Amino acid sequence: MELFFPINLFTNRYWVAKPLNPGNKGLAAVAEQVEKPGHDADAELIQDFLKGGQSSFNRLVLKYQNKVFNLCYRMLGERSEAEDVAQEVFVTLFRSVKHFRGDSLFSTWVFRITVNHCKNRLKYLTRRNYFKMQSLDQPFATEEGEMVPDTEDEGPTPEESLMSREVQETIQLKIAELDTEHRTAIVLRDIQGLSYQEIADILGVREGTVKSRIHRARLELKEKLEREGKL
């Protein structure tokens, strides 16, 4: 049995389900901790951080920075924006870890914050017309004359990755063409490798919804890649 009551108005969780006896979680909680060993370590780090241990926050950052940055990069498709958003995510984490109630996994909570930040930034950038298509072959006019766009050399070299850079860039472009819901679902599932249940927790929707979103997104992406001739 659960009671619903309002919590912090400044987070996006206005109402949470609170168990009647939060202290006594019983065997289920123990089983959960055994089942998910990452949870326990995070909880210890969080407790230590709340007591004032700054190094535990550093450890949390180091633990999650690659996952968060990768998620941001795949969502936004832009290295500098991804870095900015990832930093914002950890600043938000730093300021609001005290509101983390342990209802879900800490990683789920981190990803939820990341996804929300990315969605906000996408909305902001779309409003600013940031994603206006710029062809990489067509020269564009500048004050000094016409120039051909020069792509930034970033990311791992072709030797490091199994895929050619061209294919990677095409996939990233095609992901960026999906709408936000589909993009979020497919990035969380196929790039971050999370389970349907975790994604449902992160997005706050039912598992069936997640499943259908991922299926639609994959079909759409397949269509796009077929059209590009990358399959």
Partner 1 sequence: MNCEAIRELFSDYADRTLAPELKDSMEQHLKRCPACSRELTHFTATVQLLTRLPMIPAPPDFLVSVRRRLEQPPAWRRFLSPAWLLSPAASRTWALAASFIFVFSIAFLIGRNYQPGSPQPLTVALEHSAKVWTPPPDPLEGVEWRIPMEAAAPRAMAVSAGFHIPDSLEVEYAASRSAPDGAFPYQTPTEFVIALLKADPELRYADLYPLPQGALALTPDFLYQITLSDAGFAQAPQTFLGNGHRLPRTLGQAQRLYGLHIRRLASPLSAP
Chain positions contacting partner 1, by CB under 8 A: 58, 61-62, 65-66, 68-70, 73-74, 79, 83, 86-87, 90-91, 94, 155-156, 160-163, 167-168, 171, 186, 190-191, 193, 211, 214-215, 218-219, 221-222, 225-226, 230-231
Shortest separation between residue 195's beta carbon and partner 1, angstroms: 9
**Residue number, 68 or 118, with CB nearest to partner 1:** 68
Residue in this structure with the two tokens 């890649």, named with its chain if needed: 225
Radius of gyration of the chain (CA): 21
98 DSSP assignment: G
**Residue 61 CB burial class (10 angstroms; 0-12, 13-18, ≥19):** middle
Least spacing, CB of residue 1 vs partner 1, in Å: 32
| CA-wise closest residue to 40 among 133, 101, 93, 105 | 105
Question: In the complex with partner 1, which residue's Cβ is closer, 119 or 218?
Answer: 218
Shortest distance in whole angstroms from residue 94 CB to partner 1:
6
The distance between the two most distant Cα atoms of the chain, rounded to a whole number of Å, is 72
Rounded Cα gap, residues 167 and 58, in angstroms: 35
* Least separation in angstroms between CB 150 and partner 1: 20
**Considering beta carbons, is residue 68 or 200 the nearer one to partner 1?**
68
